[in-house]
Chains A and B, each alone.
Chain A
Amino acid sequence: MSAPAILAEDLYKSFGETEALRGLSLTAEEGTILGVLGPNGAGKTTAVRILTTLLAPDAGRATVAGYDVVGDAAALRAKIGLAGQYAAVDENLTGRENLEMVGRLYHLGRPAARERAGELLEQFSLTDAADRPAKTYSGGMRRRLDLGAALVARPPVLFLDEPTTGLDPRSRNQMWETIEERTAAGTTVLLTTQYLEEADRLADRIVVIDHGNVIAEGTADELKDRVGGERVEVRLEDSGEVERALGALAGLGPEQPVADDGWVRVAVAERKGAIAEAVRRLDGEAIGIDDVVLRRPTLDDVFLSLTGHVAADGDEAAENEEVRA
């Protein structure tokens, strides 16, 4: 097996008192998508900045495409594409000029840079706006232009820091398809995200980080298995009957059923027959059922159980904005 396309070992980075990374390690095999999941301030952007040679780690080492991020930084830069957390486009240049400039700085040569810019504008549905200054673009259009810039040289390793934040559902889907196309062509992608759905859909492997450290890793399925198997969820016609429902469903699975917001949830060991059994038990007690579903835990459940808080925590997001301002 070939060496991993991205390998980080025991990275440390502090900014004054803040320890942004505390021994972070991760790997991504060639041609796969690694999802890096973590709440605000977890250290995702710091890790991306180290892996793209923008920032030197205080300790630890990392290689990307076989190049050391510190020692071989100059050679490495020809092998990577970066779309940072905040779209980096020159607002006074048009979309086309932005992409051509990046192409020429990758030394594609003028004609190739021009051709590639045209292709990307088309791919990201920016053809109509191609010759307008980027300052007239909406947030989502800038984001797409920025992604385009990362793809100009078709680099073998791509770093995308929250690539779909601020995109509407259609653009998000387009972005996902583009990312999948790139990996089908052999590109390795490291993608940070706050959207668990996105990691679930795209990532071959996921690392969950918090406070600068990996707290869990695996495939989406493996992570979900860690929080337990499937669960039956029942919504009652009359929420006054929650207590009786909890009693009726006790023993259906290995754990005690729980009530939450008019729903009663119970983890079950065996998918088969679980719904029928739950309905039978509630029926036997004459408890009315409004809705009943069987579902796998989502990454939201994973996140909640691992970090003790939900993924996009409003207060912390606001706090983080202040830090940057």
Chain B
Amino acid sequence: MSENTFLLDGEAIPFVPGQTVMQAAKAAGKYIPHLCWHPEFKPHGSCKLCTVKANGRFVSSCTMEAAAGVTIENRTPELDDKRRTLLQLLFVEGNHFCPSCEKSGNCLLQATAYDLGMMSPHFDHFFPDRPVDASHPDILLDFNRCILCSLCVQASEQADKKNVFVMGGRGMRGRRIIINSESGKLGDTDFAASDRAASICPVGVILKKRVGFAVPIGERKYDQAPASVVEVTK
């Protein structure tokens, strides 16, 4: 084994020092399921879907720095099984009605669930009471579908320098995205449809108004290829 490689499911993966396991795997075309990780932003490590076993210990691959000689298990039945459970929990914690959701086919949560073979939500639905914020002229927020990945927070802060979205509240039911304006409404911020944060949401919360079904079902991102392919080529 050459110096800067680690073993991912038995295959040697090269890395550049400083790269995370996730980054190196992606560069090598290897899919590690993930939701809160995005190549443009600092890893946040909140969804835990990218959990792998490094030398037998559970770690988040999006935050773990790659190190030479480490043996990593990724797509094992054990880990995928745990990932399915995490996905099921996410589905029941929010209100996800894929058949009428305009993000269907473009949604990373849905695509990942398909890819990992999640057949049913399994757990009882929480049916939480979550707000819809339509106050902005060009953008709709439907928090029913928020998975708290915090990518909007990072995009607004780091790319747009605006801090429109803030993670707030506590606990499983209390934790939520808060809009940084006096009224708490998006319409009262300087948010713009051209902001990076306007197109970052992996699910169907932050949406461009009035065009939801302009692209037909069947012609959407994950209709062309499964998440495991799209996510390593994008």
Q: Do A and B come from one complex?
A: no
Could you tell me which A residues sit within 8 Å of B by CB distance? Answer: none
